[in-house]
Amino acid sequence: MKIHQVINSLFTSNSWILDFEKNCWLVDCGDIRPIVEIIGKMPVVGVLLTHAHYDHIYGLNELFELYPGIPVYTNEVGRELLLNDKLNLSRYHETPFVFEYPQNIQIINDGDEIVLNGECKLKVAATPGHNDSCLTFVADKEIFTGDSYIPGIKVVTNLPGGRKQIAKQSVDRILKLAIDKTIYPGHGDITSSLE
Ligand SMILES: [Zn+2]
């Protein structure tokens, strides 16, 4: 699996492209054009959401015009945010966002495993605190932490639904999960393994 970073125009959030050569998966989904520039004709076959704040989901409807019917993985709270522009905070921007394909939402929870293309196993860890929709995805050598852990930056907990104490517990958990793995956060750069 190759991983490409797309830095989005909105709040410089990251979308990550998990490239399996025949197809690819996304972790979060902002600007679509740079994704298409990287993947060309290779299809996107699924999306994993680290959480459902606006800056991590706003490309989804456009993505579905290109790749209809693919699954979008999130938890129950993420589902609520995807379908509510107030909860996902997009209402406070120029373009309120509501996900138009609720039937494609797949609910996942702490401890679940998602096997991508039968070859790459991702474990799901619930890492609430920044928001209750926060999930961290743990592969063999990679960990996708969203906004639950951005190396060098304090977790943002002052948005609606943020919980400071819980966020600390999630960071502690992520730091353990991240040992010997490369960290792919929701904003900022890739950070090589913690020791
Ligand atoms: Zn966020």
Longest dimension (CA), the chain: 44
pLDDT at 194: 63
The tally of CA atoms less than 13 A away on the side-chain side of residue 73 is: 24
CA 143 to ligand 1 center in whole angstroms: 17
Task: Please indicate, yes or no, if residue 194 is contained in any of the structural domains.
Answer: no
H helix or E strand, kind and range, residue 111:
none
pLDDT at 93: 87
Task: Please indicate, yes or no, if residue 89 is contained in any of the structural domains.
Answer: yes
pLDDT at 192: 86
pLDDT at 177: 97
| Domain range for 146 | 2-185
CA 22 to ligand 1 center in whole angstroms: 30
Torsion-angle region of residue 117: left (phi > 0), alpha (psi -120 to 50) or beta?
Answer: left
Which residues place a Cβ less than 5 A from the ion ligand 1? 53, 147
CA 88 to ligand 1 center in whole angstroms: 9
- Total structural domains in the chain? 1
CA 178 to ligand 1 center in whole angstroms: 20
pLDDT at 125: 98
Beta bridge partners of 16: 5, 27
CA 118 to ligand 1 center in whole angstroms: 30
Task: Please indicate, yes or no, if residue 77 is contained in any of the structural domains.
Answer: yes
Task: Please indicate, yes or no, if residue 149 is contained in any of the structural domains.
Answer: yes
pTM greater than 0.95 (yes/no): yes
pLDDT at 193: 67
DSSP state for residue 141 in the 8-state scheme:
S
CA 23 to ligand 1 center in whole angstroms: 27
Q: Give me the average pLDDT of each 10-residue run along the chain (195 residues).
A: 96 97 97 97 97 98 97 98 97 93 98 95 98 97 97 93 96 96 96 73
Task: Please indicate, yes or no, if residue 65 is contained in any of the structural domains.
Answer: yes
Tell me the CATH number at 33.
3.60.15.10
pLDDT at 195: 56
Task: Please indicate, yes or no, if residue 191 is contained in any of the structural domains.
Answer: no
